[in-house]
Structure 1
Amino acid sequence: MNPVVSAEWLVNQLDNPQIAIADCRFQLANPQWGRNQYQESHILGAYYLDLNLDLSAPVGQSMRGTHGGRHPLPDSASFAAKMAQMGVEWGETWVIAYDDSAMGFAARLWWLLRYFGHEQVAILDGGWSGWLNQSYPVTADCPPPQTGTFIPQAQSHWVVDYQTVLTRKDQPTVTLIDSRDGDRYRGEREPIDPQAGHIPGAVNIPWREVCTADGHIRPLAEQQQRWQTIGTEQEIIVYCGSGVTACVNLLSLELAGIPNAKLYVGGWSDWCSYHLSA
């Protein structure tokens, strides 16, 4: 299956027991917003996954204390339990993720499932707004917990930490990609983290360019064009503020036929925590 599916496809799969739907709507500035939206209305049969509670570990539980970034990876057991409650059978059930933020949060689930060894995952093209525009079925009813079996197998080589970025970023065979908006990359604006700027040596390829203004994925040719200056022989490390929207760029790389890019999960929020006093 393509990693991006259409609303027309999904509406015909709502009764398919091999499909699980995840509502990933979220706002960084208002963490309760997504859950409130879900409780008001969501795609028929969808479960809600909270970025802070389900797709991340609690901040501050890292052994590094003040470091690690704003959205550390979730504990494998907790994540597996959540998938099982959605009825996900590891390696079998197709999980379809959606949000209302140009895939900014759904892509985090897409990447996480694959990181934990579950390749059967795709993102809904156009997200929630696209679904509503087609007048497809919605509900306020929450589906009951189920009993799936999810056996996480973390792909630890998919991620890098601060020390790895620090030692490898200037090597000629490494390309470091900052996925944030251009003004944040240039240090003109920083709405979240305590310091503005970017990691020295990083190039800026904003994640928002992966989709159109209405949240639909851009054609394959445009995805390939975004990465045409980066050689396939390069080691690619992608980051954003905290390892969330960078996953949209990882999706774009996958679509463009450039797999094996790595995620600096801590991102700018982790990097600047080491340099605030520098």
Structure 2
Amino acid sequence: MHTTLISAADLAQHVLDSRWVVLDCRHDLMNPDAGRDAFAAGHIQNAQFANIDTDLSGAKTGLDGVFRGRHPLPERTVLIETLRAWGIDDDTQVVAYDAHGGMFAARLWWLLRWIGHPAVAVLDGGLAAWQAAGEPLVTPVAPRARGAIAERPSLTQTVAVDDVVANLATQNKTVVDARAADRYRGENETIDPVGGHIPGARNRFFKDNLAPDGRFKDAAQLKAEWAPLFASAPQAIMQCGSGVTACHNLLALEVAGLPGAALYPGSWSQWCADPARPVATGQD
């Protein structure tokens, strides 16, 4: 069972395995059609397309009228139906990939764990590693029989915005922001209406989890880089702009042997939507 990362060589041995499901998570935050267009132009054999905006996210506004962020979590029952439509069963090995260092694939990895499915991994190095290994891309999409995955006890932790607000006073948990340093400081903000960060949050850009070749750094290096940020992972909260790249940091922590941190799904996009919530700028 692969539960964090998988190499291109290992995946290549299983693309025809009916017990494996491969999902293409390519996306562009500034062009919602880019991922599907790239998938249509060529993808890993037997892969299916997973759309960040519609398959891996839910409604931006809840039934209570509260804004939940740019990429809120999907309803669990809806996610289960999506996974079944992709042919996923309880014993299926799922592999997610993208062309962005795992930026979007990590979201699918986290969602599978959220509904209690441990057999999910991210293709280390993504599509670039696949092609560098001499593996082909194809255009046909192979049909799959419907799966029967069932929800099981979650393997993840989440916190709500009210929990993060309460943490401002207690500082019981360390909040870690996965966005680039300039956006964390409140500079060059082009996605959300307000620049800055949650007061007290520390910054760990998700791309710092990667080696120069686009693969994840090894466990020892990741542990050495992450350990100084907090006393223990269960006392940490991961966030980003909309709850997507924070999952990359959660995956890196899992690789490093530092499990237990929670995800704040609404992240900065939800936080900054309420002017009553404080905003910090600059280097904390």
Paired residue for 2:227?
A: 228
Cα–Cα, structure 1 residues 277 and 82, in superposed 2: closer, same or farther, change >3 Å? closer
Amino acid at match of 1:268: W
Q: 2:97 aligned with 1:93, yes or no?
A: no
SS at match of 1:231: coil
Conserved in 1, the CA contact under 8 Å of 2:234 and 2:261? no
1:84 aligns with 2:53: no
Task: Please state how far the C-alpha of 1:233 moved relative to its aligned partner.
Answer: 6.9
Question: What's the counterpart of residue 265 of structure 2?
Answer: 265
Q: What displacement does 1:169 show?
A: 3.6
Matches within 5 A, 1:235-246: 235-246=235-246
2:113–2:155: 8 Å Cα contact kept in structure 1? no
**Identical-pair percentage:** 37
CA distance 1:141–1:224, change in 2 (3 Å): same
Determine if contact 2:177/2:203 at 8 Å carries over to the other structure. yes
Once the two structures are superposed, the pairs formed by residues 58-73 of structure 1 within 5 Å of their partners are: 58-60=59-61, 62-73=62-73
Matches within 5 A, 1:30-45: 30-45=31-46
Change (3 A) 1:12 1:262: same
Output the CA distance in 2 between the equivalents of 1:252 and 1:277. 29
Q: Give the superposition deviation at 1:100.
A: 0.5
Aligned residue in 1 for 2:131: 132
Please give the per-residue CA displacement for 1:36-57, whole angstroms capped at 9, x wherever unaligned: 1101100000000000010001
Gaps of at least 5 residues in structure 1 are: none
Listed one character per residue, the Cα deviations across residues 50-81 of structure 1 (whole Å, up to 9, x for unaligned) are 00010001322x13425210011112222112
Offset of residue 170 of structure 1: 4.1
Tell me the amino acid that sits aligned with residue 5 of structure 2.
V
Native 8 Å contact 1:103 1:123 kept in 2: yes
Quick one: which amino acid aligns to residue 273 of structure 1? Answer: A
Residue 152 of structure 1 and its aligned partner are, at CA, apart by 2.1
Distance in 1 between residues matched to 2:169 and 2:179, nearest whole Å: 20
Q: Is the 8 A contact 1:237 1:262 kept in 2?
A: yes
Secondary structure in structure 2 of the residue aligned to 1:160? coil
Structure 1 272/156 Cα, relative in aligned 2: closer, same or farther at 3 Å?
A: farther
Q: Distance in 1 between matches of 2:169 and 2:37?
A: 44
Q: Counterpart of 1:149?
A: 148
Between 1:114-123 and 1:1-10, the stretch displaced more is: 1-10
- Partner Cα separation in structure 2 for residue 225 and residue 84 of structure 1: 39
Contact 2:219–2:257, Cα closer than 8 Å, also in 1: no
Q: Distance in 2 between matches of 1:277 and 1:243?
A: 18
* Amino acid across the alignment from 1:52: D
Distance change in 2, residues 1:239/1:120 (3 Å): same
What is aligned with 1:165?
Answer: 164
Could you state the TM-score of these two structures normalised by the residue count of structure 1?
0.94
- SS of structure 2 residue aligned to 1:109: helix
Distance in 2 separating the partners of 1:36 and 1:233: 38
Equivalent pair of 2:88/2:147 in contact (CA under 8 Å): yes
Number of aligned residue pairs: 276
Q: Could you say which residue in structure 1 is the equivalent of 2:282?
A: none
Is residue 27 of structure 2 the alignment partner of residue 22 of structure 1?
Answer: no
Once residues 83 and 105 of structure 2 are traced to their aligned partners in structure 1, the CA distance between those partners, rounded to angstroms, is 15
Structure 2 counterpart of 1:75: 75
Alignment of 1:110-121 (within 5 A): 110-121=109-120
* SS at 1:194 equivalent: coil
Distance 1:18 1:79, change over 3 A: same
